[in-house]
Amino acid sequence: MTLKIGDRLPSAVFTTPTGDGPKPVSVDDVFKGRTVALFAVPGAFTPTCSARHLPGFKEHAAELKSKGVDAIACVSVNDAFVMGAWAKDQGVSNDEVIMLADGNGDFTRKLGLSMDASGFGMGERSQRYSALVRDGVIEQLNVEQGGEFKVSSAEHLLTQL
């Protein structure tokens, strides 16, 4: 069952890349007491994710924060090393976008937003989505239809603030 607006995020532990190596970070660490623009990508370094999705949130970070967003977080079913390399490749600091590696897909499955990408040799991955999360509760949720990039963009999320 897919979580919906008004639902609380499930508890989970991500791994985030830091200068000191990968560190565990819980859902509460990221979302408790804050307003977070969360977005998920099917995979780091994939075409749409690298050309449009992550760059859009980097480009609009100041505007999102001016509208009350405390933090921006990107989740992907990748490991922290891949997420760290992707952030470096994209010129994104952890202050701009918190990179959340959901390496085993536990968080993504709990949300009900996993997808089977084994036809592309990628195994289980996350659907592409964006959400506005206030103190751990989903206020907006924008899940893309397969292969699309419309409602999960930073630009679309800005229209919902």
Q: Which of these is catalytic: 49, 101, 131, 133? A: 49
Residue whose structure tokens are 């592409």: 128
Distance CA 109, CA 160 (A): 25
Q: Within its chain, how far is the Cα of 32 from the centroid?
A: 16
Q: Output the CA–CA distances (angstroms, integers) from residue 116 to 58, 122, 125, 140, 146, in the order listed.
A: 28, 8, 6, 24, 11
Is 49 labeled as catalytic in the residue annotation? yes
The pairing of beta strand 137-143 with beta strand 114-116: unpaired
Active-site annotation, residues? 49
